[in-house]
Amino acid sequence: MASEAFPFSQSSGSIGYYQERWLSRSDPVISRWAYIETVRNFGWGVKMVAGEANGKLFNREELVSVLTEGLREHPQATVELVFHKDDDKARACIMFEEENSLMIRLKREFSDRVHIFWAPKRPRQHYAVVDDERVIFEQPNHPPNKPWWGNIVMNTSIAQEWERRFDEYVRYCSELQF
């Protein structure tokens, strides 16, 4: 990846962390930009686990545009999102649809390649796996709808492990149709 896509210092260590708290409590604009830039140029898939799937990130034109471009450029690509939002599935679905109209539009445009799942319990670790090579980890157990920090990990074996966890976790979730 081009270094200008990630203007953050790389920590020492051999596993390829980009790990400043750039997904930060102090500047949500930088956090959203870094998340979107990490997802940009995906080739075969993005798997995201969120708590509330806050519209401040998931209803952003910039994120949905990046996902749309990837899906158009790569006919085999998929986007999967797991969220909780509420303990009641029907209420969570309504809340998600009201707050994330752009993601709903994406789901409807690519109905066979965008999958949105409701989790019966709020996931403790929120993350995104991009192309089996990058992972965005959000602060574990952060309070709902509050700012959080996070790390990007550029490591295939770590990404593959979290992708495996995603595939296992999604078996306990319900896919929603919009």
Nearest C-alpha neighbor of 99 from the set 53, 165, 150, 137: 53
Distance CA 57, CA 88 (A): 22
Tracing tokens 């930060």 back to the chain, one arrives at: 24
Strongest mean pLDDT among 11-15, 16-20, 33-37, 76-80:
76-80
- The helix (H) or strand (E) run that includes residue 17 is strand 17-18
* 135 and 145 Cβ atoms separated by less than 8 Å: no
Q: β-strands 78-83, 114-118: how paired?
A: parallel
CATH superfamily label, 16-176: Endonuclease Chain A (3.30.870.10)
Which ranges in 6-60 belong to alpha helices (H)? 28-39, 55-58
Contact 144, 122 (CB under 8 A): yes
pLDDT band at 149 (very low <50, low <70, confident <90, very high): low
Q: Model confidence over 55-88: pLDDT tens digits?
A: 988 999 999 999 999 999 999 999 999 999 999 9
87-145: pLDDT as tens digits: 999 999 999 999 999 999 999 999 999 999 999 999 988 899 999 888 888 767 777 77
Computed from CA positions of residues 7, 8, 11, 14, in that sequence, does the dihedral angle turn out positive or negative?
negative
Whole-angstrom Cα distance, residue 114 to residue 91? 21
- Report d(CA 171, CA 163) in Å as an integer: 13
The Cα–Cα gap between 39 and 120 comes to: 26
- Collapse the DSSP code of 130 into the 3-class scheme (helix H, G, I; strand E, B; otherwise coil) and give the result: strand
